[in-house]
């Protein structure tokens, strides 16, 4: 069967940049554009030249893409001037990209209310803007803003706008569900109606995730005749985001009937790079990756329940829709109160700890995990603390250091500049091989900002561990989560700490106590202990 070619258009650097809280630097943009190109996307939209200095500079020093068509974004010209004399359009065209995508109105309400011009003027603006770009030798794309809402209100006018773009030479006209409120069945119905008028591969789809159906809407549009999908990495985008290409790409390559019906520019053998690409974007944005993201999330192949884990060990296809390696992810069998011996054995083997299934210590370990989870511990998240607990039960836990005592004080005082500051001070006394080390630290960073009591404790604890100083020198805390839980009639605090080392490895530890500082200290000790076990066992 001949497969139909779909075009993949990435707008992470434009619509993704419209996400609240996302602010790419020029360097971020370059890294992302090159990574998208390496994955094999057809188009990389870099932003809006002229809209802000970062985008202008990015286009002035454009990355050299090997495969993708580098695309600038802009809007149709304003009424009352020619396309050649519109300064906003001129900046977009002057970026010199091989392709330009222009957004334009296709909803009569928007033309009259947002632009305040006549319906005919808007059609002329679309037509003249696209013709201008084509005259400059550029490939032109037309993003028909609010197309679905416009079609429902006035189908003749919405179609007239598309026709104007097509007749002026647009390579693609893209139906945009700008407000994200159209559900997949309606997207399919309207896209189908348009596709019957515009056969061939010139119709695209651009969905937003306001009803959490952006991916489903994009796929429904393809089924109905759209041949280009616009989307973003990790579903970034205005408000609730755009269609997530990190979900769409593996669906098109691995799922039936999509894989047999359609062909995309991303080769299947590059899919294992997808999880890394998704995490790289989060890293650039300094965001914790979504653990539950389909395909690429750390929990996307985590099998928590005992029944699942037991079957997975016999055959992974029992509880997995695809092999995790296909998208560069990995299987995880977490430990928790939902676990049985199968989870336990699998988890131990992944940690490089061997044990016989009949070993009676395993039952005691399993019971201890369940008892501790009942008291608020969470070994499902805190894999490193689980490994230390398992080592303790199996007689494999080494004693690197002993904490004799610690003290933390929190003080609000005036500093030398007469400003009120809150400062925490911590003192920790540890024993290493019979030698006693006393360390003190305070919570102010180099800029004089208070980083809190746990930071002071962490610095004091890692300040002097004698012969282990070098082994923990590259360690840092990257995430700190606190949750108040109830255990019986008491409120207790659970602290989850995520640590990282110079090689980029991350691990999570847990502490539970009625006292937040004590809970944090337990998690800190586990974090250091885990690193020492791992690095000194290598």
Residues that bind ligand PYR (CB under 6 A): 15, 103, 143, 145, 176, 178, 206, 208
Minimal distance, residue 51 CB to ligand ACO, in Å: 3
CB of 13 to ligand PYR, least distance (A): 12
Q: How far is the CB of 108 from ligand ACO (least distance, A)?
A: 14
Output the residue with the shortest Cβ distance to ligand PYR: 176
The angle, 0 to 180 degrees and rounded to 10, between the axes of the packed helices 26-39 and 274-285 is 170
With respect to ligand PYR, which residue has the nearer C-beta, 19 or 387? 19
- Check: CB of residue 125 under 8 Å from CB of residue 78: yes
From ligand PYR, ligand ACO, none, which one binds at residue 76 (CB under 5 to 8 Å depending on kind)?
Answer: ligand ACO
First to last CA, the chain: 52
Tell me the residue nearest to ligand ACO as measured from the CB.
51
Query: Would you say 377 and 368 are in contact if contact means Cβ atoms under 8 Å apart?
Result: no
Distance CA 234, CA 229 (A): 15
Alpha carbon of 458 to those of 409, 410, 425, 498: distances in Å?
A: 14, 15, 11, 13
- Nearest distance from C-beta of residue 55 to ligand ACO, angstroms: 8
Q: Which is nearer to ligand PYR, 165 or 519 (CB)?
A: 165
Tokens for 529? 């202990």
Where does residue 405 rank: exposed (0-12), middle (13-18), buried (19+ CB within 10 A)?
Answer: exposed
What's the closest the beta carbon of residue 130 comes to ligand ACO, in angstroms?
A: 12
Closest CA to 97 of 73, 81, 76: 73
Q: Which does 42 bind (CB under 5 to 8 A by kind): ligand ACO, ligand PYR, none?
A: none
**Cα gap 374→337, rounded to integer Å:** 8
Strands 7-10 and 228-231: parallel
Place of tokens 């990790």: 234
Q: Which does 393 bind (CB under 5 to 8 A by kind): ligand ACO, ligand PYR, none?
A: none
Preceding peptide of 41 cis, ω within 30°: no
Residues 418 and 499: their CA atoms lie apart, in Å, by 35
Task: State the DSSP code for 242.
Answer: B
In angstroms, what is the minimal distance from the CB of 228 to ligand PYR?
13
**Of these partners, ligand PYR, ligand ACO, none, which one is at the site of residue 37 (CB under 5 to 8 Å by kind)?**
none
Question: What is the secondary structure of 470-534 as a DSSP string?
Answer: HHHTT-EEEEEEEEEEEETTEEEEEEEEEEE-TT--EEEEEEEESSHHHHHHHHHHHHHHHHHHH
The residue among 145 and 498 lying less far from ligand ACO, judged by its C-beta, is 145
Q: Which residues would be at the binding site for ligand ACO (CB under 6 A)?
A: 18, 48, 51-52, 75-76, 78, 88, 103-105, 114-115, 145, 178, 238
Q: How many CA atoms lie within 13 A of 348 on its CB side?
A: 23
Least distance (Å) between residue 147 CB and ligand PYR: 8
Partner from ligand PYR, ligand ACO, none contacting 206, C-beta within 5 to 8 A by type: ligand PYR
Q: Which is nearer to ligand ACO, 18 or 251 (CB)?
A: 18
- 453 vs 506: CA distance, rounded Å: 22
| Residue among 103 and 389 whose Cβ is closer to ligand ACO | 103
Helices (H), 301-340: 306-314
Query: Which entry of ligand PYR, ligand ACO, none binds 108, CB below 5 to 8 A by partner kind?
Result: none
Using left for φ > 0, alpha for ψ between -120 and 50, and beta otherwise, residue 484 falls in beta
**What's the min distance (Å) between Cβ of 78 and ligand PYR?**
17
Which lies closer to ligand ACO via its Cβ, residue 173 or residue 388? 173
CB of 28 to ligand ACO, least distance (A): 17
Which residue lies nearer to ligand ACO by CB, 76 or 191?
76
CB of 234 to ligand PYR, least distance (A): 17
Choose between 51 and 134: whose C-beta lies nearer to ligand ACO. Answer: 51
Q: What's the longest Cα–Cα distance across the chain?
A: 88
Comparison of 68 and 101: residue with beta carbon closer to ligand PYR: 101
Q: Minimum Å distance from CB 410 to ligand ACO?
A: 44
- CA distances for 19 relative to 132, 332, 506, 511, angstroms: 30, 31, 27, 35
Residues 262, 95: Cα–Cα separation, whole Å: 33
- Cα separation, 241 vs 208, in Å, equals 6
Both tokens assigned to 21: 């809280």
Answer with the entry of ligand PYR, ligand ACO, none that 228 interacts with (C-beta below 5 to 8 A by kind): none
Kindly tell me which of 130 and 333 has the beta carbon lying closer to ligand ACO.
130
Q: How far is the CB of 32 from ligand ACO (least distance, A)?
A: 18
CA-based angle 201:206:209, to the nearest 5?
A: 150
Q: For residues 237 and 297, which CB has a smaller minimum distance to ligand PYR in the complex?
A: 237
Binds 347: which of ligand ACO, ligand PYR, none (CB < 5-8 Å by kind): none
Which residue, 21 or 360, is less far from ligand ACO as judged by CB? Answer: 21
Residue among 211 and 431 whose Cβ is closer to ligand PYR: 211
Strand 420-432 and strand 402-414: the pairing is antiparallel
CB of 17 to ligand ACO, least distance (A): 8
Q: Which does 391 bind (CB under 5 to 8 A by kind): ligand ACO, ligand PYR, none?
A: none
Are 460 and 441 in contact by the 8 Å Cβ rule? The answer is: yes
């Amino acid at each position: 069967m001949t497969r139909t070619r779909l075009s993949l258009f990435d707008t992470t650097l434009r619509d993704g940049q419209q996400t609240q809280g996302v602010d790419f630097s020029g360097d971020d943009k370059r890294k992302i554009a090159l990574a998208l190109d390496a994955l094999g996307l057809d188009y990389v939209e870099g932003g809006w030249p002229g809209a802000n200095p970062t985008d202008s500079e990015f286009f002035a020093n454009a990355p050299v893409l090997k495969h993708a068509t580098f695309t600038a974004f802009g809007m149709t010209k304003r009424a009352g001037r020619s396309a050649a004399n519109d300064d906003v359009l001129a900046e977009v065209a002057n970026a010199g990209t091989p392709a330009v995508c222009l957004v334009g109105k296709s909803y009569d309400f928007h033309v009259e209310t947002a632009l305040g011009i006549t319906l005919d003027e808007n059609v002329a603006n679309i037509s003249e803007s696209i013709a201008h770009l084509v005259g400059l030798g550029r490939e032109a794309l037309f993003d028909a803003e609010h197309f679905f809402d416009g079609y429902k209100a006035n189908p003749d006018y919405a179609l007239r706008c598309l026709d104007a773009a097509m007749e002026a030479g647009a390579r693609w006209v893209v139906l945009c569900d700008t407000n994200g409120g159209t559900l997949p069945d309606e997207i399919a119905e309207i896209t189908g109606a348009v596709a019957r008028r515009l056969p061939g591969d010139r119709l695209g789809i651009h969905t937003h995730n306001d009803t959490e159906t952006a991916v489903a809407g994009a796929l429904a549009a393809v089924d109905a005749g759209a041949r280009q999908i616009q989307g973003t990495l990790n579903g970034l985008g205005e408000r609730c985001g755009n269609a997530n290409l990190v979900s769409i790409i593996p669906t098109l390559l691995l799922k039936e009937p999509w894989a047999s019906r359609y062909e995309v520019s991303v080769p299947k053998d590059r899919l294992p790079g997808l999880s890394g690409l998704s995490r790289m974007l989060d890293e650039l944005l300094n965001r914790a990756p979504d653990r539950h993201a389909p395909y690429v999330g750390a929990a996307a192949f985590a099998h928590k329940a005992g029944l699942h884990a037991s079957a997975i060990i016999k055959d992974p296809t029992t509880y997995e829709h695809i092999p995790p390696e296909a998208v560069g992810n990995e299987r995880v069998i977490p430990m928790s109160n939902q676990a049985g011996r199968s989870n336990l054995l699998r988890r131990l083997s992944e940690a490089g700890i061997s044990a016989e299934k009949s070993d009676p210590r395993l039952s005691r370990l399993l019971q201890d995990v369940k008892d501790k989870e009942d008291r608020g511990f969470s070994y499902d998240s805190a894999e490193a603390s689980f490994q230390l607990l398992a080592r303790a039960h199996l007689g494999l836990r080494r004693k690197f250091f002993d904490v004799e005592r610690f003290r933390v004080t929190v003080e609000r005082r005036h500093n030398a500049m007469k400003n009120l500051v809150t400062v925490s001070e911590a003192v920790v006394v540890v024993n290493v091989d019979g030698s006693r080390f006393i360390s003190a630290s305070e919570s102010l960073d180099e800029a004089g900002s208070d980083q809190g009591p746990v930071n002071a404790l962490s610095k004091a604890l890692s300040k002097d561990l004698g012969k282990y100083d070098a082994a923990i020198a590259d360690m840092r805390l990257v995430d700190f989560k606190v949750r108040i839980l109830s255990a019986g009639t008491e409120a207790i605090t659970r602290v989850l700490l995520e640590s990282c080392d110079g090689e980029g490895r991350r691990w999570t530890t847990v502490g539970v106590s009625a006292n937040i500082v004590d809970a944090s200290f337990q998690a800190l000790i586990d974090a250091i202990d885990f690193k020492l076990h791992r690095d000194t066992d290598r």
